[in-house]
């Protein structure tokens, strides 16, 4: 049997990104992994996936990530969902010219924002320069938008980046849809250790929660002290107080109760101190 390998395309970056994107489907860290994959053919500082329904219903944010630092896309979306979406006409072209399932690639510079309020609250306040999107009408009449952002220090997307995004856009949209389907069927994630601790014993102070949370991460007393800027004896005091409230004696008991994959069972009692 003779096997012939096809020559790689002239620009292989979009196909490499597509492979990584498909491979991330079903991962709890899909948002960050997908952004890293998309940054093979282009350099986006952040991205978001949201669904808009029209002026009478608030939009829904499905996914978001920022490459470094705070995820500014969540703050942007909060401003958008607070009312800016009612005057957003940036996706009108998709609504008018496309049938359900058909996608379009759109670019919007900060100066082209739908109105001054939108420009100031989202683009200027969060130092965003441009949005590059692939959007499509869904069967229920909503519009699903996958948005990549250049921040001000990056300037606009280059012609090569736009061309590569157009090449990969159908795969991006299909991968996002598959991920959202997976998320809808996936069991709910267990509570974060801090939330589980606070729910089990509301009397725990913020510092006691800080120490217990870091113990569950595997940090030593010295490591917790360095992380929180406290002395080791102070860390041990917070640990002792938290354990007393929770009715624990050993670190192994803390892990048994709050370090598992499932919800933490409520302890027999949450003991007040003093």
Q: Is the pTM of this model over 0.95?
A: no
Residue 54 to residue 130: CA distance in whole angstroms? 23
Residue 266 has pLDDT above 60, yes or no: no
Whether 18 and 147 map to the same domain: the answer is: yes
Residue 173 has pLDDT above 70, yes or no: yes
Q: Structural domain tally of the chain? A: 2
Whether 107 and 211 map to the same domain: the answer is: no
Please provide residue 68's backbone torsions phi and psi, each rounded to the nearest 5 degrees: -135, 140
Inside any domain, residue 1 = no
Inside any domain, residue 2 = no
Whether 166 and 206 map to the same domain: the answer is: no
Please provide residue 231's backbone torsions phi and psi, each rounded to the nearest 5 degrees: -80, 160
* Number of Cα atoms under 13 Å in the Cβ half of residue 63: 30
Q: Output the six-digit token pair for 102.
A: 């058909």
Question: How large a percentage of the chain has pLDDT more than 90?
Answer: 66
Range of the domain at 215: 193-258
Give every CB contact of residue 237 below 8 A, 6+ residues apart in sequence.
none
Query: By the 8 A CB rule, do 41 and 132 touch?
Result: no
Q: Where are the alpha helices (DSSP H) in the chain?
A: 13-24, 30-38, 72-81, 92-97, 116-118, 159-185, 193-200, 206-216, 221-228, 232-246, 251-258
Q: How many CB atoms lie within 10 A of CB 195?
A: 14
Whether 160 and 241 map to the same domain: the answer is: no
Higher pLDDT, 213 or 68: 213
Whether 137 and 45 map to the same domain: the answer is: yes
Q: How confident is the model at residue 68 (pLDDT cuts 50, 70, 90)?
A: confident
Whether 97 and 180 map to the same domain: the answer is: yes
Whichever domain contains 217, its CATH number is 1.10.10.10
Final residue of a structural domain among 137, 163, 185: 185
Whether 29 and 78 map to the same domain: the answer is: yes
pLDDT digits (tens, 9 = 90+) for 206-217: 999 999 999 998
Whether 180 and 74 map to the same domain: the answer is: yes
Query: By the 8 A CB rule, do 36 and 24 touch?
Result: no
Inside any domain, residue 266 = no
Whichever domain contains 21, its CATH number is 3.30.450.40
Residue 2 has pLDDT above 60, yes or no: no
Whether 204 and 181 map to the same domain: the answer is: no
Inside any domain, residue 56 = yes
């Amino acid at each position: 049997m003779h096997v012939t390998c096809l020559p790689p395309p002239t620009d292989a970056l979009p196909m490499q990104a597509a492979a990584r994107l498909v491979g991330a489907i079903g991962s709890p860290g899909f948002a960050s992994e997908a952004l890293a994959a998309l940054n093979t053919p282009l350099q986006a500082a952040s991205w978001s996936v949201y669904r808009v329904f029209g002026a009478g219903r608030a939009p829904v944010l499905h996914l978001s990530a920022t490459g470094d630092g705070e995820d500014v896309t969540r703050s942007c979306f909060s401003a958008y969902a607070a009312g800016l979406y009612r005057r957003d006409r940036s996706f009108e072209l998709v609504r008018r010219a496309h049938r359900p399932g058909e996608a379009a690639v759109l670019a919007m510079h900060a100066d082209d924002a739908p109105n001054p309020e939108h420009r100031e609250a989202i683009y200027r306040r969060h130092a965003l320069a441009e949005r590059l999107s692939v959007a499509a009408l869904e069967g229920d009449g909503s519009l699903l938008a996958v948005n990549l952002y250049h921040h001000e220090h990056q300037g606009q997307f280059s012609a090569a980046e736009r061309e590569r995004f157009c090449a990969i856009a159908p795969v991006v949209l299909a991968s996002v849809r598959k991920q959202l389907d997976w998320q809808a069927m996936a069991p709910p994630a267990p509570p974060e250790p801090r939330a589980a601790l606070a729910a089990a014993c509301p009397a725990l102070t913020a510092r006691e929660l800080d120490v217990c949370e870091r113990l569950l991460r595997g940090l030593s007393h010295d490591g917790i002290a360095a992380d929180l800027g406290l002395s080791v004896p102070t860390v041990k005091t917070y640990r002792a107080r938290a354990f007393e409230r929770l009715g624990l004696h050993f670190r192994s008991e803390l892990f048994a109760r709050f370090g598992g994959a499932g919800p933490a069972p409520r302890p027999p009692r949450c003991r007040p101190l003093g």
